[in-house]
Amino acid sequence: MLNFNWGKRTYLMGVLNVTPDSFSDGGEFNKPLSALNQALALAAGGADIIDVGGQSTRPGAEQISVEEELERVLSVIKIIRPKIDIPISVDTTSSIVADRAVNAGADIVNDISGGTFDSSMFSTVASLNVPLILMHIRGNPQTMQQMTDYQDVIEEISNFLLQQITYAVAAGIKREKIIIDPGIGFAKNLEQNLEILRRLTELKKLNCPILVGPSRKSFIGSILNQPNPKARVWGTAAASCAAILNGADIIRVHDVEQMRDVSMVADAIKRPHQSN
């Protein structure tokens, strides 16, 4: 199922928030049947991965209990796993949720804390022997937007990710199973998010596939003066295209069908000798 040929094309991760309070679609898919219908729609639209998250990570989001996160995530993974044949990732910072989700059928762990919130995350993922996505963040969703003071945003992201890759490998995770994410919108302001997209190529030196998640983010809303996240699809398209042209291997998006077209054209420009 996990058959990624890095560099051949851009892969699309479709967002499936099973939360009542996510910033753009909170409450829409937090029942198993509605989540299943959305997962099927994402897969039909061209998603290569479905990313299931039970804990909102929007700025200011309240932390829920592990029990509540498990209840949200496991019920959805169990109902969608038999129905879709593409990888499922679990968006969690909890090693307990990661372990239970993989045992329920998830294939990838997506940790927005880069392994910093739960000291057992690396050893757990090593024992599960699944890919791990490490994202850059400062603080947590309650505090991160007060922590945007960087001397050099890309250098500091790179240093953090290199440190976390080193810890992950030391814990037994195979390096080829690590994917990195610069964390657009997480402890970053408008200009820093744009700088990440401009300088994304610099993260290639870490020798890991790069995931970028620009979808419907507030920096796009600021540029467009668009308060409605769902009306940011074309801004997301522009940011996704920039990310692909600067080296992104995976784009994490809500609007999969539209971004499939964007990624196909961007790939044709970026990778003229490759084919889908």
Catalytic residue among 188, 199, 252, 270: 252
Distance (Å, rounded) from C-alpha 112 to C-alpha 134?
7
Q: Please answer whether residues 245 and 207 qualify as being in contact, where contact means their C-beta atoms are separated by less than 8 angstroms.
A: no
| Residue given tokens 């219908």 in the structure block | 37
Query: Does the annotation mark 100 as catalytic?
Result: no
User: In sequence order, which residues have a C-beta less than 8 Å from that of residue 225 and are 6 or more positions away?
Assistant: none
Catalytic residue among 9, 199, 217, 270: 217
Distance (Å, rounded) from C-alpha 43 to C-alpha 65?
30
The amino acid occupying position 260 is R
- Containing 211, the helix (H) or strand (E) segment is strand 211-212
Query: Does the annotation mark 177 as catalytic?
Result: no
* 191-200 long-range Cβ contacts below 8 angstroms, 24+ apart: 192/148, 192/150, 192/153, 193/217, 193/219, 194/219, 195/153, 195/154, 196/153, 196/154, 196/157, 197/239, 197/242, 197/243, 197/246, 198/242, 198/246, 199/154, 199/246, 200/243, 200/246, 200/247, 200/248
Alpha-carbon 110 to chain mean position:
6
The amino acid occupying position 267 is D
DSSP 40-77: HHHHHHT-SEEEEESS--STTPPPPPHHHHHHHHHHHH
Active site residues: 217, 252
